Amino acid sequence: MIRMLLSGSIYCLRLLVSLVLIPFEIIYGCIVVLRPKKARERVNTAAVISIGNITTGGTGKTPHTIMLAHQLKKQYRTAIISRGYRGNYTEDARIVSDGKNITATAEEVGDEPVMMARTAGVPIIVGRKRIHAAQCAQKTFQSQVLLLDDGFQHTRLYRDVNIALVDAMNPFGNGCLLPRGILREPLRALSRADAIIITKSNLVSDEELCMVSDTCRQFNAPLYYSELHSTHITYGKKRIARSAIKNSAVLLLSSIGNPLSFRRIFMKECYTGMTLTEMTFPDHYHFSLRDSEAITAAAAGKIIITTAKDAERLAPFALPLYVLHITVVLPSIHDLMRRLHRACKIKIINGS
């Protein structure tokens, strides 16, 4: 009886909050509609490929950007440009990596650029205005292809290819715009996409995947499916065999857009019946000393397993972290790369 009353109270509270947020959703929607959609500035001779989404966080932009960088650098001088979310840098453009050496910290440029710098093997440049980062990439590295991280809503820099990611686990939330839902733009914004990738397709049921596929097909863009898989576990700089954690009690620690995806990957590919506890923080969370102490207390008698992205922000606290590394597998990668190569060659040859 008490549980039913509590459940009813929570439902009423959520309904009330949703109703209160309707005017703010309308205001936000008007801003989105009135914002210019056509990018104004081009980068001469460099092809710009945007990887983004229409929802807030959690679709897997970072691992997909790394995957595309690995493919494109085989044929072109490739660089990644990013806003450097929550970084405290002050320059118009800041070089995070030249493709080999990392020259910035997560505190300075954000966790995602540093994470990409560790594995992408291409120059990474951040800029509050992405055009400045793009110009820096061309001037410093003579880049032929620029991967624009989280660029679907960006309106200044022209893109030759727009790739939209849709999270199979939570594609569109409740269908409402911010702040009432998770949509940055109305669903029809997917019509701007030159390709749509439904991510985490291996972490949902066939029925769920079919439903999101049907929604995405109405926008007439080529449709691809990607999977997230764990590759290995590290402790410090050492790679650890999965059998080493077989009988351990585990604290699964994350502060990412969709922590459920991290849990599902761990459960599907690493779980061997060990005792599992979870501790989550908001996406892009800035950990404090107090947080570090709370994590240490929660991890008493356990090993801490976290994401590569979270490990970057937790580095100053010297916690004993096991990092579960995750990669993207895209079965139709060759078809997607054919489309990207075509766009890149046209831009590089024509120079406009």
Same domain, 161 and 300: no
180 in any annotated domain:
yes
Same domain, 285 and 149: no
Instruction: Identify the bridge partners of residue 251 per DSSP, sorted by sequence position.
Output: 277, 304
122 in any annotated domain:
no
Q: Residue 325's pLDDT is what?
A: 96
29 in any annotated domain:
no
The backbone torsions φ and ψ at residue 329, rounded to the nearest 5 degrees and listed phi first, read: -120, 125
Same domain, 241 and 316: yes
Same domain, 319 and 334: no
301 in any annotated domain:
yes
Same domain, 335 and 314: no
93 in any annotated domain:
no
CATH code for the domain in which residue 235 is found: 3.40.50
What total number of domains does the chain contain?
2
Q: Residue 333's pLDDT is what?
A: 97
Q: Residue 201's pLDDT is what?
A: 98
- Per-residue pLDDT of the chain (352 residues), as tens digits, is 444 444 556 657 777 777 888 888 888 778 877 776 666 687 778 999 999 999 997 899 999 999 999 999 999 999 999 999 989 999 999 999 999 999 999 999 999 999 999 999 999 999 999 999 999 999 999 999 999 999 999 888 999 999 999 999 999 999 999 999 999 999 999 999 999 999 999 999 999 999 999 999 999 999 999 999 999 999 999 999 998 898 899 999 999 999 999 999 999 999 988 999 999 999 989 999 999 999 999 999 999 999 999 999 999 999 999 999 999 999 999 999 999 999 998 887 676 5
Which domain covers residue 284, as residue numbers? 229-327
DSSP per-residue codes, 60-77: -HHHHHHHHHHHHTTTS-
Q: Which of 273, 272, 277 is nearest to 305 (CA)?
A: 277
Same domain, 60 and 179: yes
193 in any annotated domain:
yes
Residue with tokens 């800041």: 94
Same domain, 185 and 309: no
Q: Residue 262's pLDDT is what?
A: 96
85 in any annotated domain:
no
State the alpha helices, DSSP H only, in 275-332. Answer: 289-298, 308-314
d(CA 135, CA 79): 11
Q: Is the peptide bond before 63 cis (omega within 30 degrees of 0)?
A: no
339 in any annotated domain:
yes
Same domain, 283 and 262: yes
Q: Residue 4's pLDDT is what?
A: 46
d(CA 92, CA 77): 22
CATH code for the domain in which residue 150 is found: 3.40.50.300
Same domain, 254 and 191: no
Same domain, 59 and 160: yes
Q: Residue 6's pLDDT is what?
A: 43
3-state percent breakdown (helix, strand, coil) of the chain, nearest 5: 40, 25, 35
d(CA 53, CA 174): 16
Same domain, 217 and 247: no
Same domain, 259 and 309: yes
